[in-house]
Amino acid sequence: MKIVLVGQHNSGKSMVFSRLTGIDTIVSNYSGTSVEITQGMMKVNGLSFELLDTPGIYSLAWADGPSDLTRRAIMDLRDDDLIINVVDAGNLVRNLALTLELLELNLPMIVLLNQVDVAQSHHLVIDHQKLSEYLGVPVIPFSAQTGEGVADLHAVISKGSRLQPGSSPRRFLITSDMAACPCSPNCSGCPMGETASCSEQPVLDYYQQARCLAKQVILRSDNRPRGLQVLQDFLDKTRMGSLALLLLGLLGFYLLLSFIGWSEEVIVSLFAPIQDLIARIISTIVPSGFWHTVLSKGISEGIVVPFSLVMPAMLMVSFLISIIEDIGLLPRYAVLLDRVGNLFGVSGQAVIPLSLGFGCRTPAVVATRILGSEGQRFIVIALLSIVIPCAGTIGMLSSTIVAFDAYVPVIILSMLAVFLLLGWVLKKLYGENEDRIYELPPLRMPQAANVAKKIRLRFQGFFTEVLPLLLVLSVAVRIIIESGVLNRLHNLGSLTYTLFGLPPEAVIGVLLTIIQRYLAPLVILNLSLDPRQATIAITMIALSVPCLPVVVMTIREMGVKAVVKIVGVGFAVSLSIGFILNLVLPAIGG
């Protein structure tokens, strides 16, 4: 027997999935967190069941994008499989509309009245027994947060009876509750649905019935706004709210940058004795000479650089993004930035993958699935790959900027200009005037445990990927520098100086970005560049081709052709920006 979790967007399926299987999944407070089906095992009284977590779905009739995966998973179910319909107790009408639709499939089903703990704190009381009678399937009050209802669910599953819907609920409602319903589901007789087309008529019916049903099973509710609701009303319903969001965003960026600057100093000083120790150990093992220099410099840089430059940025960005996600602010920023998105032919929704990209671009590429079309996804992935600096990159870039006293405004302005220009060009090529719809979920207090889990999931790449890679490459870079290979490039010097005003070694550093963008500064830091040269080199690094993990992910998501295009554009952008800056920079004041 297979069990599938099905529910409306943001009803808490992934949280239920985590609770039932013990598998860590990323949960957030916005529609479209899950874009894939996740598989797990659920144990009930010693028996194992396969449990599927699916992307949210509004209605089986209107499933597109990730929701279509859900629709197909449901269509694949056999008669002995089970649907667990996750219903958000705080959003009963919309959730029950889907429940009514699912019941028509006549498959065994259990309704989980999820987030009852939240509902109770809002003084919302739902008669679940009455709801169960109306629907003809078991209804279990549940909280993925506290674990309430897990035992009840296990008991119902192991009993196995009464899961099959007894009678079609539509018929049931029509015959027994006509008086309570303001609308009959019959097209011609319905005064409210007279202009609905035939395919939408069922939706109108489900919603009308869900409204009736909700009215009958909600025993007590208190709509007075309090706590977070007050804040939410301010953010969503007033113009000052938009301003507040904007200021909050700026404050977040300011906090991030000052944290990175502050932590670097602290960590570097903390690591000084460790570096000494490493140097001494290497001195005792390796006699002085070529390898001694390579190892002592390479290893100590390879350890300090990731910890002092990459780690703080990765941690802080993971923290900020997790908090913003969990409170439910991301969709609000999407609304705020909708007008900016119009410039690029993408929806404000693009703010979600783009802001995730400031953490790490690899998962951000996957998150582009919430966008409406392939064209939009390509635009956003291209912008992500070429322009958006990830946490690691931000750390490396800012340290390089400080080391060479490079011109920060020039770098930031170049990045902004490329972002706008590239976005505009991509819009002309791939953009479409797609219609935008944003759901604004209720604000929630972020849960410390969940935030910690997300930071851990986002940060674990540091030890498995960033640290080893930087260590190995730091030694490799040292070998190249100490071997004097770079000196032999000097006959290329005239070419690179004419084009970019840079020594050939720096151009090699730029080319290294293909492996991982934050590696390139390793080379740059070992060169002697003047501020103007450093500015050009750093800008070229900041605006270039995607790193390897992003390339791999993009092939998976969009195919090889898209990656070839993006890498091509990335090279072109990087070389052009270097060329242009070399032409204009002296005029500005270099």
Instruction: Report the interface residues with another protein, using CB under 8 A.
Output: 57-59, 61-62, 64, 91, 93-94, 97, 190, 192-197, 200, 203-204, 207, 211, 236-239, 242, 335, 338-339, 342, 347-348, 372, 433-440
Structure tokens at 583: 């032409």
CB of 218 to another protein, least distance (A): 11
Rg (CA), the chain: 28
Give the 3-state secondary structure of residue 43. strand
Could you count the other beta carbons within 10 Å of the beta carbon of residue 397?
26
The smaller minimum CB distance to another protein, of residues 209 and 574, is found at 209
Residue 210 vs 354, nearer CB to another protein? 210
In the complex, minimum distance from the CB of residue 92 to another protein, in angstroms, rounded to a whole number:
8
Distance of CA 196 to the CA centre of its chain: 36
Shortest distance (Å) from residue 410 CB to another protein:
29
Tell me how far CA of residue 148 lies from CA of 13, 117, 122, 139, 438, in angstroms: 15, 8, 17, 13, 31
* Nearest to another protein of 218, 366 (CB atom): 218
Q: Cβ(327)–Cβ(29) under 8 Å?
A: yes
Taking the least distance from each CB to another protein, the nearer of 188 and 197 is: 197
Could you tell me which residues come within 8 angstroms of residue 437 by beta carbon, excluding any fewer than 6 positions away? none
- Give me 132's structure tokens: 């169960």
Shortest distance (Å) from residue 108 CB to another protein:
24
Question: What's the DSSP call for residue 47?
Answer: E
**What is the Cα–Cα distance from 25 to 37, expressed in whole angstroms?**
11
- In whole angstroms, how close is the CB of 134 to another protein at the nearest point? 18
Q: How many CB atoms lie within 10 A of CB 188?
A: 7
CB of 88 to another protein, least distance (A): 10
> In this complex, which beta carbon is closest to another protein, that of residue 336 or of residue 508?
336
Pick 278 or 334: Cβ nearer another protein: 334
Separation between Cα atoms, residue 167 and residue 162, nearest integer Å:
12
* Least distance in angstroms from the C-beta of 16 to another protein: 20
> Among residues 75 and 449, whose Cβ is nearest to another protein?
75
Return the H-helix or E-strand segment holding 141: strand 139-141
C-beta closer to another protein: residue 195 or 491:
195
Instruction: Supply the angle between the helices 239-285 and 228-237 in degrees, to the nearest 10.
Output: 110
Sign of the CA dihedral with 217 first, then 222, 223, and 228 last: negative
Supply the minimum distance, in Å, between the C-beta of residue 580 and another protein. 31
